[in-house]
Amino acid sequence: MAWNEPGGNGKDPWGNKGGNGPPDLDEVVKKLQSKMGGLFGGKGRSSGGSASGGGAGAGGIALIVGGILLVVLAVQSFYTIQPAERGVIRTLGAYSKITKPGPHFLIPFIQTLDVVNVDQINKFSHRALMLTRDENIVDLSLTVQFRIQDAADYLFQDADPELTIQGAMESSLREIVGKSSLDDIITDKRYEIAESVKLNTQRLLDLYRNGMVVTNISIQEANPPQQVQEAFDDATKAREDKERAQNQAHTYANDIVPRSRGNAARQIEDAKAYKAQIVSQAEGESNRFLALLGEYQKAPEVTRERLYLDTVESVLSQSSKVMLDVKGGNNLTYLPLDKMIQPAQQSRTSANNADYQPPERTIEIPATARGGREDRSRRGR
């Protein structure tokens, strides 16, 4: 039966004996405050005034502490990733996702954050003695630059990524050096060897899922061992002398070959000009002969006489002596025209070429010569 029905025990649920109404609300609140004050170190209610004041102070402290905790949790739940960083989120310890630059929310006590810088360039140096293809030993010193490419692989796939990249680089370097000669490594193929080492190292890192990328590998020094340094310097000097001699030979060839070609072309052109001249002269002589033949056919005697005179004139103009044949005598006389001309030239020089007139000389052609010419003319008829 109900507590306020007839025959009941007279006790209500709030502890009021024999009361017929509901409990006092103020009394209920006071009891709750007294209990809360006991939880935070306060004393039980002994009197109305003191118990009420202690319970109110403890409740305010609890609210302040709770508010501070809420603020701290709210601050820790929000984070910002910088442009050069990536955030790796783990939910209950397991990898969850990667967050990009910008503000993000994190569930407290459930998720954890690892921030990784993916733009920072890291580097290390390496030096070692290695065997080449031609069974020589080379002392190599190189520098490797790398950065993080995949933050998740960098954190969870490899226990020691830096040690892994060093081992991959050294393995690739020994492979490439073992396929190259000492001269190639030390001289002109150093850059190609460094690029090959970089590609092979990156291939191994991708296979291991290391999360790193090699940005650059440069060979700083490549020298033979100290024990053979002097001999190698001599060989290098001899190679330089050889290259210098080859360059000088190429320079000389570049100078003499075009010049020789020019001389040959000029001689060819001269030969062509001489050929054209000779052909033209021959054609002119031929045309003159044909013209003379036509005149001879028209007037043989006149033409024959003219040819004879032209021939005698040509011969006598080139001779310095004239033969004289006296008719009816046996003596043969000649005139030294060259000796006779010299005094005349000297006299003309002394007179400054003014009024000097050379003496007249008569050259007598023997009758026998004339008779012979006439006989020849008659025979020609």
Check residues 335 and 244 and name the one with the higher pLDDT. Answer: 244
Domain match, 147 and 57 both: no
Higher pLDDT pick, 220 / 355: 220
40 and 64 both lie in a single domain: yes
Mean pLDDT computed over every residue of the chain: 78
CB 139 within 8 A of CB 127: yes
CA distance 138 to 58: 80
Q: Is residue 67 part of a domain?
A: yes
Range among 65-69, 178-182, 214-218, 293-297 rated most confident: 214-218
Domain that holds residue 185: 122-224
Separation between Cα atoms, residue 305 and residue 311, nearest integer Å: 10
Q: pLDDT tens-digit profile of 87-126?
A: 999 999 899 999 999 999 888 888 899 999 999 999 999 9
Q: Looking at the structure, tell me whether residues 146 and 96 fall in a common domain.
A: no
Residues 341 and 367 placed together within one structural domain of the fold: yes
**Residues 132, 44 within the same domain:** no
- Does residue 211 share a domain with residue 150? yes
Do 207 and 151 reside in the same domain of the chain? yes
Tokens standing for 38? 């006991």
* Domain termination site, one of 189, 224, 259: 224
Q: Are residues 32 and 67 in the same domain?
A: yes
The answer to whether position 266 is within a domain reads no
> Strands 332-336, 321-325: parallel, antiparallel or unpaired by DSSP?
antiparallel
Cα torsion 208, 211, 217, 221: sign: negative
Q: Which residues contact 69 (CB under 8 A, 6 or more apart)?
A: none
In a domain, 34, yes or no: yes
Question: Among residues 344, 378, 346, 376, which one has the least CA distance to residue 361?
Answer: 344
Tokens found for residue 29: 């609140």
Which neighbouring-strand residues pair with 213? 147
Tell me if 277 is assigned to some domain: no
Task: Answer yes or no: is 3 within a domain.
Answer: no
Angle (nearest 5°) at CA 208 between 203 and 213 = 55
Residue 90 maps to a domain: yes
Q: Are residues 128 and 218 in the same domain?
A: yes
Q: Do residues 126 and 204 share a domain?
A: yes
Are both 111 and 128 inside the same structural domain?
Answer: no
pLDDT class for 176, splitting at 50, 70, 90?
A: very high
Task: Tell whether the model's pLDDT for residue 289 goes beyond 50.
Answer: yes
Q: How many domains does the chain have?
A: 4
Query: Which amino acid is present at 50?
Result: S
The answer to whether 28 and 12 have CB atoms below 8 angstroms apart is no
Q: Which two tokens stand for residue 97?
A: 């996702």
pLDDT band at 325 (very low <50, low <70, confident <90, very high): low
Q: Same structural domain for residues 33 and 109?
A: no
Of 120, 107, 115, 123, give the one whose Cα is nearest residue 155.
Answer: 115
**Domain end call among 75, 102, 135:** 75
pLDDT given for residue 296 in this prediction = 84
User: Tell me, what's the pLDDT at 230?
Assistant: 83
pLDDT score of 30: 67
Length of the chain: 381
Of 71-75, 184-188, 246-250, 373-377, which range is least confident?
373-377
Q: What is the pLDDT of residues 1-59, one digit of tens each?
A: 454 555 555 455 555 544 455 556 567 556 666 655 554 454 444 444 444 455 556 66
Place of tokens 């040819």: 307
Higher pLDDT, 326 or 241: 241
Beta strand 102-105 pairing with 78-81: antiparallel
> Domain with 192 in it: what CATH number?
3.30.479.30
pLDDT the model gives residue 236: 78
Domain boundary among 117, 139, 174: 117
- pTM for the predicted model, two decimal places: 0.49
